[in-house]
Amino acid sequence: MMDNFENVNSRRTRPAKPPLGLDIIIRTAYKLLSENGMSGMSMRKVAKSLDTGPASLYVYVENYQKLSAYVLDYGLRDVKLVEDDTVYWKDAIINVLKSYFKVLAETPGLAELALTTSPNGTNSMDINECLLKYLQAGGISTRSAAWGIDILLLYVSSLSFERVLRNKKDDDLDDLVALYNTVDVSKYPMISKLKSELFSGDGGERFSWGIEVILQGLLSMQNN
Amino acid sequence: MMDNFENVNSRRTRPAKPPLGLDIIIRTAYKLLSENGMSGMSMRKVAKSLDTGPASLYVYVENYQKLSAYVLDYGLRDVKLVEDDTVYWKDAIINVLKSYFKVLAETPGLAELALTTSPNGTNSMDINECLLKYLQAGGISTRSAAWGIDILLLYVSSLSFERVLRNKKDDDLDDLVALYNTVDVSKYPMISKLKSELFSGDGGERFSWGIEVILQGLLSMQNN
DNA sequence: ACCTGAACACCGTTCAAGT
DNA sequence: ACCTGAACACCGTTCAAGT
């Protein structure tokens, strides 16, 4: 029954070629992304990985950008949502965002994708729904909640993107540190003074700090 | 004297070829970017535009990413800083960020560059120095100021990137709106309720709202 | 309808040879 | 040291021909 595609007395010489379809294309693209980062995922590589030509993909995916949006959403499937209604709203939000951060930071390329692509699928909708629920539970107004999830997710995405850069060889950041270290004290008094703070924060500390800033800011908008 | 490269009785048939150098490379790349967006700028196109082969650029620029960092900083040269010490600190910050937003939104590709590249140059340092100064003037702590400029610039960059997407044909956003409009009310009660808010905001309104949120949040961290 | 190799019009980067 | 054409190893997307 599983050997539909082989003749009766088959002795496989290579794995059965799976039939093409949107799902398998997304999963294959995600696998390439998570193994080799952003540059590991391309239409051609996905096609090759599925043992076909690049043109075949266009039956199921309009273009590379659309595929990226699907892959991003697929990558977000592991984000753990909080379902417990008795959890304090702030803790719930922090837990969801921590999981979001972890997923982005663990999968090479996913953070970069999150910064430049709008995810297309139900996983991102589940995350939005969950965050909206707890923001409203915290007494944050409709509009603040709607716009607030964007800031929260943006902030966390960029933190994890930075983290990913830091973990690579990262010539760019070295350049930036060098630039800031050779700075003219009289021309840039503030930067000189705060030099260490500008690149400080072990990630965890800065993560919590930023979420707190945004949530406090949202709360303060209640009366506007 | 200017005709060094021509024979004595020259009658130019095409403009004198400018000597190569980092500056002219950056300016040429920026020109291509601002005329044709992100995809209009490439090593090969810059080289062709300078009437040479792509290999020539590598004498002055290590790679494409470094060039991007230079171009981004160069693009920020038009951001108007506030020098007046009598301006209220919040107004100063809002004015600088408004100018930053305008510059990113007006130059195709620059907003996208800002989201994925750390600028390399003095223009971005001037902006940082200026924002740090006014944040401190507002009584915001050293650490909050240092980390706060990142959030502020990130927020404004992403807003202008969204704006740029919206102004293009933008299939992606249409898909997203479609997805949110066909949403199951019982599975996504919050999203259904806030649907209109999620895509609302004429830009200006949302801009001011976000800056206010972040500044209020930063202020509330003073006692931590 | 689905599948595909080949072609088209590009990329960034390096090599080898020039000056 | 600076410059460069050609080559290398790739891209996304479309065409034309197959089933």
The 10s digit of each residue's pLDDT in B109-158 is: 999 999 999 999 999 999 999 999 999 999 999 999 999 999 999 999 99
CA closest to C4 C1', residue: A53
Four-residue CA torsion sign, B89, B206, A76, A83: positive
Which nt is closest to the CA of A48, judged by C1'?
C4
The answer to whether strand D lies under 7 Å from the CB of residue B18 is no
Of A133, A172, A213, the CB nearest to B190: A133
Model confidence at A12, pLDDT cuts 50, 70, 90, reads very low
Average pLDDT over residues A76-81: 98
Contacts of A128 in chain B (CB under 8 A): 190-191, 198
- pLDDT digits over B161-176, tens only? 998 888 777 677 788 8
How far does the CA of residue B18 sit from the closest CA of chain A (Å)?
28
Which residues, other chains included, contact B97 with Cβ-Cβ below 8 Å and sequence gap of 6+? B131, B152, B153, B156, B207, B211
Contacts of B155 in chain A (CB under 8 A): 151, 154
Nearest CA in chain A to B186: A129
Nearest CA in chain A to B212: A217
What are the start-end ranges of the H helices in chain B?
A: 22-36, 43-49, 64-75, 89-106, 110-116, 122-137, 142-167, 171-181, 189-198, 204-220
B15 pLDDT above the threshold of 70 = no
Residue B197 and residue A147 in contact, taking contact as beta carbons nearer than 8 Å: yes
Average pLDDT over residues B167-196: 86
Amino acid letter, A141: S
Nucleotides in chain D near protein beta carbons (<7 Å): 2-7, 10-16
| Nearest by Cα to B97 from B35, B136, B137, B151 | B151
Nearest CA in chain A to B177: A120
Q: Which two tokens stand for residue B20?
A: 């190569």
The Cβ of residue B224 has, within 10 Å, a number of other Cβ atoms equal to 11
Q: Is the pTM of this model over 0.85?
A: yes
Interchain contact, B146 vs A200, CB within 8 Å = yes
- pLDDT digits over A32-43, tens only? 999 999 999 999
Domains detected in chain A: 9-61 (1.10.10.60), 76-220 (1.10.357.10)
B224 pLDDT above the threshold of 70 = no
Model confidence at B191, pLDDT cuts 50, 70, 90, reads very high
- Measured CA distances, A25 to A43, A52, A74, A125 (Å): 10, 11, 11, 21
Residue B111 and residue B160 in contact, taking contact as beta carbons nearer than 8 Å: yes
- Residue A49, class by beta-carbon neighbours within 10 Å (0-12 exposed, 13-18 middle, 19+ buried)? middle
Average pLDDT over residues A64-91: 96
Q: Report the C-alpha gap between A66 and A215 in whole angstroms.
A: 32
